[in-house]
Amino acid sequence: METSKTFFKNTTIDNPKVLMEDIKQWLIHQEIISSKEQPLELEAPNTYYGGINYKNIIEEEGFYGKVEFVAKRTEIMHRVGWDWGVDFLLPDVVLCPQCKKDLIKGIDPATFYGENNLEQDPNGIRILQELRAGISLWESNEEVNITCYNCGVQNLIEEYDYNNSLIFTNFAIIFWNWPKLKPEFKNTLINKLGVDTTLFIDM
């Protein structure tokens, strides 16, 4: 089965472009990805197709997909969501780093996506509106603060805990629609990227 796999840094890092070039050259050198960037990917620069040795990193039969390098501030779930035609994904949780309350507890996803019409907690809705607007501001390098309605403390948007249902980073590698990757390859790549790297499997 083909799925997309995303390797991402858990925090924003210095010099994401340097790291990107390093990993890109490492993959090109082994001919896991082609040395030619796909010029037609206007929405997604730094996108490559598999190279002749792409089979070295996959665990099951299948063809390669695209590999996209992200080296600027991006909320990755939102980026992945483009592929699903959704511009803002409802996070699973929004936990305040101070009081640990889930600020969107009880928000009904069906109502959120307009398929249901239940009364919603206005505080939770306000947090979601701030998040939605905050993502694009954050991506254009603005500092975005959101105030917790429970404890009143203001925190940076990236300091809330979304349990990886929103991911604020400035470095990610997305294997779009690849077959299952070999565990050895995933481990090597995570080691190369550093301990603050997580692999997120998008089903």
Please count the residues of this chain forming the interface with Zn ion, following the rule CB under 5 A.
6
Query: What is the x/- site pattern for Zn ion, positions 40-79, by CB under 5 A?
Result: ----------------------------------------
Angle 164-61-58 from CA coordinates, rounded to 5°: 50
Residue 10 or 150 having the CB closest to Zn ion: 150
Asked if 150 interacts with Zn ion (CB under 5 A), we say yes
DSSP assignment of 45-92: SSEEEE-TTGGGGBSSS----EEEEE-S-EEHHHHHHHTTT-SSPPPS
- CA-CA distance, 11 to 8, in Å (whole number)? 9
Strands of 66-70's sheet in order across:
33-37, 47-50, 66-70, 172-178, 3-9, 197-202
Which range of residues in 23-31, 120-128, 147-155, 169-177 is near Zn ion by CB under 5 A? 147-155
Residue 17 or 100 having the CB closest to Zn ion: 100
Query: What is the x/- site pattern for Zn ion, positions 99-128, by CB under 5 A?
Result: x-----------------------------
Asked if 133 interacts with Zn ion (CB under 5 A), we say no
Residue 71 or 96 having the CB closest to Zn ion: 96
Q: Which of 70, 148, 166, 193 binds Zn ion (CB under 5 A)?
A: 148
- CA-CA distance, 101 to 186, in Å (whole number)? 34
Residue 94 or 173 having the CB closest to Zn ion: 94
Which ranges of 69-153 does DSSP label H, i.e. alpha helix? 76-82, 109-112, 122-139
Residue 106 CB, shortest distance to Zn ion, in Å, is 16
3-state secondary structure of 7: strand
Positions touching Zn ion (CB under 5 A) are 96, 98-99, 148, 150-151
